[in-house]
Amino acid sequence: MDLELTEDQKLFRNTTVKFLETEAPVEKVRELNKAGEGFPAEFWAQGAELGWAALLVPEELGGGSISGNGFQDLAIVAEEFGRLVSPGPLLPVNTVIAGLVDGAASGADHSEAIEGLMSGEVIGSWAAYEPNGHWEPLSPSTTAAKNGGNYVITGVKDRVEVGDVANVVLVTARTDEGVALFLVPTDADGVTVEPVESLDFVRHYATIRFDGVTVPAEAKVGTEATTANIVERMFQVATVLQTAEMCGAIDRVFEFTVQWAFDRYSFGRPLASYQALKHRFSDMRTWLECCMATTDEAVKAVNNRAENAGRLASIAKAYVGTKAIVIIQDCVQMHGGLGVTWEHDCHLYLRRTMVDRQLFGTPADHKRRIADLIGL
């Protein structure tokens, strides 16, 4: 991204980069994949100590940001995650935190859950997708029936990130009064977690079944009247973190591809000297700058809770989600046969961007959303 960073933010970024390069280099990603693991618990605990899960939490709840602009600080971390295809529940945990923080104004107190998420001791995820369904978080078939002072949740959620290791999930369900959010422990009676295959090497997902799961009324986050606003905030946080991560990924891939073009010789000349390739690199650089610019504006808008934050988030996801794949595919082609081998890192970045592109709304979904927001 092209955010103008303060000195504190630059230090925060450098600390994050150093930690990720030391604890989770690309070689480590391959090792985790070979072992069938997602992320080491101690890795995320150390990340939490660096403040990765406290940036969206107000100081009165124990959180705080580096610069006073918590989401901008968080986007810095997301971009560096993209540059190293890093493991860890950065997006799901912070999305849940965003929902709990916004829900605190109109519902039960979830400060204990927020504290656990900030410390890294608790892993959370947003369970919004349903089998065979598109991105429609406010149209769930999962139900939450009132039973005295409790709610009984029944339904199935899929594509739940870190669902295989999550301690709690924020479930979108339909009540008699509308759609509500419920914080549900994954060890509750009636909860069944089924890990599923993932395109990303270290980003695991799960299908979670709720068979008459009973939770107290205090598990509700906000109220039915405020759910739409809470969901919108969570959606904006998740979507723009994705675009920041994709920007980091394509920036890194473009960087090592340009270096490859200078180092690789063909007919006595470096590949970078051929005019046709120069033009393609120029196109990719232009697209990359546009990705950075649209994400930059979306980050600022979401950080400031601007009125147009939802539209800018969708513009960023629609554009970056489209161009990121094109850029990385072009970089694969620039590497020739080497680019499509298992040993090359290109496919790790392609996998990560493909997953980010598809979840929380595809580019096509976001284009339709933009049209609705501007009244077309």
In 10 A of CB 114, how many CB atoms? 25
> pTM score, two decimals?
0.95
pLDDT given for residue 339 in this prediction: 83
95 token code pair: 């999305």
Cα–Cα distance for residue pair 165/41, rounded to 1 Å:
10
Q: Can you tell me whether residue 65 is helix, strand or coil?
A: coil
pLDDT given for residue 375 in this prediction: 81
Which domains does the chain carry?
7-119 (1.10.540.10), 124-221 (2.40.110.10), 227-373 (1.20.140.10)
Any idea what DSSP says for residue 88?
Answer: S
pLDDT along the chain (376 residues), means of 10: 81 95 94 91 95 95 91 97 96 98 87 96 97 90 95 97 97 96 97 95 96 96 96 98 98 94 84 86 96 97 97 98 96 88 91 96 95 86
Map tokens 């406290």 to a residue. 54
Give CA 280 to chain center in angstroms: 29
Are 181 and 220 in contact by the 8 Å Cβ rule? The answer is yes
pLDDT given for residue 2 in this prediction: 62
Cα–Cα distance for residue pair 121/336, rounded to 1 Å:
44
* Alpha carbons within 13 A on the beta-carbon side of 180: 26
96: left (phi over 0), alpha (psi -120 to 50) or beta: alpha
pLDDT given for residue 272 in this prediction: 81
Helix or strand run (H / E) with residue 242: helix 227-263
Cα–Cα distance for residue pair 20/26, rounded to 1 Å:
10
Per-residue exposure over 138-150, b if at least 16 CB sit within 10 Å of its own CB, e if not: eebebebeeeeee
Could you tell me whether strands 150-161 and 205-216 are parallel, antiparallel, or unpaired per DSSP bridges? Answer: antiparallel
